[in-house]
Amino acid sequence: MVSPQVIDEGFVVTDAAQVSRPPSPFQKVADKAFRRLCWGLAWLSVLLVAFIVLRIATSAVPAVRQYGLDFLSGTTWDPNKEQYGILPEIWGTLYSSLLALLIGTAFGVAAAIFLSEGYLGQFVFQTLKVWNLQLHPLWGKLPDQMEGLLKNLIELLAAIPSVVYGLWGLFVVIPLIRPACNWLHMKMGWFALFGTDLSGPGMLPAVMVLSIMILPTITAISRDALVSVPSKIRMAAYGLGATRWEAILAVILPTAARGVFGGVVLAFGRALGETMALAMLVGNANKISLSLFSPANTLAALLANSFPEAHPKEIGVLMYAALVLLGITLLVNVIGSAILQRASAGLEGGK
Amino acid sequence: MPQEALVGQQGDLFPPDMNPFEGVDFSGLERSLRRPRTLVSVLLSGLVTAMTLLALIPLFSVVWMLVWRGGRKLSLALLTQLPPAPLEQGGGVGNAIVGTLIIILLATAISIPIGVLSAVFLTQAKTGNRLADVVRFAAKVLTGFPSILAGVFAYGAVVLVTGGFSAIAGAVAVSILMLPTIMLTAEDALRMVPWRMQEAAIGMGATPAQTAWMVLLPTAIPGILTGIMLAVARGAGETAPLLFTALFSNYWPISRGHLHLMRPTPSLAVLIYNFAGMPFENQVELAWAAALVLVLLVLVANLVGQSLSRRQVRE
């Protein structure tokens, strides 16, 4: 500890003018310049977004004029005949994203409940109790550590680059599910979902990998929403004699519903714009099919595959497709973040 | 027999002929798996546990495949040699590692000043400042921005303007995706700087710029670096924006002491994509090895970021 005398001495020798003096002209200019710089860079990031949208839109204008709305309903893509239509891609984008969302939400929300209700911590605690170690200084921390580890593991799913998921899907998922898919097609081919056989890349492997990729988003946001449910509400439900799942289904999930829903919408936005895993796994076939095993295409995969070797005329058309993708994802993302904002505002009011 | 036990305990309070719990069915309060509501609860708990474990299987599968198939190829040659031609044996991904580092470095250099100084603006702006709200909205829009569209934009704005595929174009595309992460984490970190410290600086007569440079930024630096490392981790793994901006090349991006920023530049992510679709065994093996290197790179960036975030000063 510093004794008061030392501080006193320090002040005695120092001239008051040296401790504090008005800013010099240079400092005033530097201050103004720095503030202007921050202001300017803040504007720059806004202008960047505007510029991106404008740049894509203006590049698409010639194609929009030439093909109009027929572009959205056309089903052929033939650069030689200059016939372009992206209905199969729009269908593939929505179909794959919705299916992935279905699987991802089921597993993501389940994982969020598992994490927020302390199942793992309780399990580890009970196991430790068998050896009477639950209050041990070292082992007693294990329940919390395991919960943290599980949360990090699920977040790790989001850290793996999508191209690695694509590689994994190509060499692990497709060979793994192919026999089962072809058996399903043989036995139940009359059912629209199993209408074709899986001859390599196709909708189902793409959807499976896509749902794994959006799961961490759903889990992270849902877990935040579930954890922030006021504990008073939780305790009230248990106090009335509700079982754990009666409390979850009737009280906790409805209270956190908006947050969970916002997370699902944001994950939908991510699924719509996901490119690499789909470009590698979906098969790039210009087809509209209900079958899970048929190859298909998505807007993002179309852009990824056609852009590198497109000739100048095709570029304009691809810009039009990019504009459509931009419109869809912007809409979904703005809706998602609006829901999340209202969800957190609603919970703060209820505390 | 809980009923009798309770009466027996409180026998002094109630006379033996008066039972206050008469007609109460205590057996209904016991937990029994024969009761549907308990059974449903236990079954759903089991289901949720099973689904969570199932969701982790892909993670372990990916990691196992990377270590098993990629680890076999891991050697010094992998890190220092050029990619092989079709049907050629051996080779490495050295140029792609260098290319990835160059693109990430350039992208970070573009996005750090914009991101961090915008965040300073956001924290210093008064509440209700219109521009601050618009900037935050723009950052949120960029967070959910499909990575392929960043590539489309960079193609239109850089590749078409400069007349060729280049590392610069790739860096511009990647920096767009890094910007929101850097900006939003930097804003959070700056907001965590204790208000007292800023007040002390202002009380000493510091100008707002001096407060920002000498108090705010140095105190918040661990949090800001966390955001940068997370953005680097995201940017390193991005493939879609590089496909038609940086393209790919089979040569070194640095040769004879010259850095070729205006030429097609190789990157690990694009190498994985290109080699995964090739019918040659050697190329596929290289793709797995490159994936292992890329995942290690991303993991290291993530871990550094997380360990830095623990040093953040909190109020």
- The DSSP line for A62-88 is HHHHHHTTHHHH---EETTTTEE--HH
Residue, of A205 and A18, whose pLDDT is higher: A205
Beta pairing, strands B254-255 & A77-78: unpaired
What is the Cα–Cα distance from B315 to B192, expressed in whole angstroms? 6
Is there a contact between B121 and A38 if contact means CB atoms under 8 Å apart? yes
CA angle A86, A88, A91 (to 5 degrees): 110
Task: Report how far residue A267's alpha carbon sits from residue A333's, in angstroms, rounded to the nearest whole number.
Answer: 9
d(CA A154, CA A223): 12
Q: pLDDT at position A92, please?
A: 92
Closest CA to B150 of B173, B129, B122: B173
Residue A350 clears pLDDT 50, i.e. is over it: no
**Location of structure tokens 């580092």:** B101
- Closest in A153, A322, A336 to B59, CB measured: A153
The values of phi and psi at residue A84, to 5°, are -130, 135
**B217-237 and B281-309 are packed helices; what angle lies between their axes, rounded to 10 degrees?**
160
pLDDT at A220 over 60: yes
- The number of angstroms, rounded, from the C-alpha of B268 to the middle of its chain's C-alpha atoms is 18
Residues 6+ apart with CB under 8 A from B309: B222, B223, B226
- Is residue B231 less than 8 Å (CB to CB) from chain A? no
User: Are B59 and A51 within 8 A, CB to CB?
Assistant: no
How far is Cα B161 from Cα B154, in angstroms, rounded to an integer? 10
Task: Encode pLDDT of A71-80 as tens digits.
Answer: 888 888 877 7
Q: Which of residues 156-195 of B touch A (CB under 8 A)?
A: 156-157, 176, 179, 183
Taking the CA of residue A243 and the nearest CA in chain B, the distance in Å comes to 7
Closest-approach residue (CA) in chain B for A248: B41
Task: Give A-chain residues touching B157 at CB under 8 angstroms.
Answer: 51, 55
The ipTM (two decimal places) reads: 0.85
Is pLDDT of A109 > 90? yes
C-alpha–C-alpha distance, residues A142 and A149, integer Å: 10
Nearest to B45 among A106, A107, A244 (CB): A244
Q: Calculate how close chain B gets to A133, using CA atoms only, in Å.
A: 24
Q: Quick: pLDDT tens for A227-239.
A: 989 989 989 999 9
Q: Which two tokens stand for residue A327?
A: 């419109």
Q: What is the mean pLDDT of chain B?
A: 87
Residues B248 and B252: their CA atoms lie apart, in Å, by 11
| CB-CB under 8 Å, A154 with B157 | no
pLDDT recorded at residue B8: 47
CA distance B190 to chain A (A): 14
Which of A38, A164, A272 lies nearest to residue B272, judging by beta carbons? Answer: A164
CA–CA distance from A136 to each of A125, A143, A144, A145, B62 (Å)? 11, 12, 13, 14, 36
DSSP state of A140: G
- Identity at B191, one-letter amino acid code: R
Do residues B264 and B166 touch, judged by C-beta distance below 8 A? Answer: yes
Question: Considering CB atoms only, which of B37, B141, B208 is closest to A243?
Answer: B37
Which chain A residue has its CA at the smallest distance from B237's CA?
A: A161
Bridge partners, A338 (sequence order): none
The yes-or-no verdict on residue A3 having pLDDT over 60 is no
Q: Which residue has the tokens 């979850």?
A: A248
The reported pLDDT for the residue numbered A346 is 59
According to DSSP, the residues that pair with A78 across neighbouring strands are A83
Percent of chain A at pLDDT > 90 equals: 37
Rounded percentage of chain A residues whose pLDDT exceeds 70: 92
**A139–B contact, CB cutoff 8 A:** no
List CB contacts (< 8 A) between A42 and chain B: 117-118, 121-122, 131-132, 135
Q: Which of B59, B122, B208 sits opposite A35 (nearest CB)?
A: B208
* Residue B5, pLDDT above cutoff 60: no
- Which residues in chain A (297-336) have CB-CB distances under 8 A to chain B? 300, 303-304, 307-308, 318-319, 322, 325-326, 329-330, 332-334, 336
pLDDT at B129: 83
Q: What is the mean pLDDT of residues B150-168?
A: 90
Q: What is the pLDDT of residues A18-36, one digit of tens each?
A: 666 777 888 889 999 999 9
Euclidean distance between CA atoms A46 and B134, whole angstroms:
7
DSSP state of A242: -
**Which residue of B29, B33, B52 to mutate against A (max A Cβ within 10 Å)?**
B52
The length of chain A is 351
At residue B115, what is the residue type? G
B69 chain-A contacts, CB cut-off 8 A? 171
Nearest CB among A39, A248, A318 relative to B121 is that of A39
pTM, rounded to two decimals: 0.86
Query: Nearest 5 degrees, angle CA B304-CA B310-CA B315?
Result: 145
Residues in B touching A164 (Cβ below 8 Å): 62, 66, 237, 272, 291, 294-295
Nearest Cα residue to A193 out of A201, A176, A181: A181
HSE-up (13 A, CA, CB side) for residue B186: 32
How far apart (Å, rounded) are the C-alpha atoms in residues B172 and A48? 11
Burial B234-253 (b: 16+ CB within 10 A, else e): bbbbbbbbbbbbbbbbeeeb
Closest CA to A248 of A274, A275, A262, A229: A229
Q: Which residues of A touch B54 (CB under 8 A)?
A: 107
**Please, what's the largest Cα pairwise distance for chain B?**
105
**CB within 8 Å: A39 and B59:** no
pLDDT of B201-232, one tens digit each? 988 888 889 999 899 999 999 999 999 999 99
A189 in contact with chain B, both atoms CB, cutoff 8 A: no
pLDDT digits (tens, 9 = 90+) for B71-117: 888 888 888 888 888 778 888 899 999 999 999 999 999 999 999 99
**Residue of B187, B189, B178 lying closest to B223 (CA atoms):** B189
Measured in angstroms, the CA of A219 and the nearest CA of chain B are apart by 10
Q: What is the pLDDT of residue A10?
A: 46
B40 touching A (Cβ < 8 Å): yes
Sign of CA dihedral A59, A60, A62, A63: positive
Q: Cβ–Cβ contacts within 10 Å for residue B296, how many? A: 13
Query: CA-CA distance, A30 to A41, in Å (whole number)?
Result: 16
Are B238 and B107 in contact by the 8 Å Cβ rule? The answer is no
Residue-by-residue DSSP string for chain B: -HHHHHHHHTTTTS-TT--TTTT--GGGGS--TTSHHHHHHHHHHHHHHHHHHHHHHHHHHHHHHIIIIIHTT-SHHHHHSPPPPTT------HHHHHHHHHHHHHHHHHHHHHHHHHHHHHHHSPTT-HHHHHHHHHHHHHHT--HHHHHHHHIIIIIHHHTS--HHHHHHHHHHHHHHHHHHHHHHHHHTS-HHHHHHHHHTT--HHHHIIIIIHHHHHHHHHHHHHHHHHHHHH--HHHHTTT---SS-SEETTEE-TTS----HHHHHHHHHT-S-HHHHHHHHHHHHHHHHHHHHHHHHHHHHHTT----
Q: What is the mean pLDDT of residues B289-298?
A: 94
Q: Among the listed ranges A238-247, B26-35, B70-79, which one has the minimum average pLDDT value?
A: B26-35
A295 or B127, which is more confident? A295
Three-state DSSP class for A153? helix
Q: Which two tokens stand for residue A52?
A: 């991106």
What are the chain A neighbours of B210 within 8 Å (beta carbons)? 23, 27, 31
Q: Bridge partners of A77?
A: A84
> Which residue among B66, B209, B243 places its CB closest to the CB of A304?
B243
Q: Distance (Å) from the C-alpha of residue B284 to the closest C-alpha of chain A? A: 9
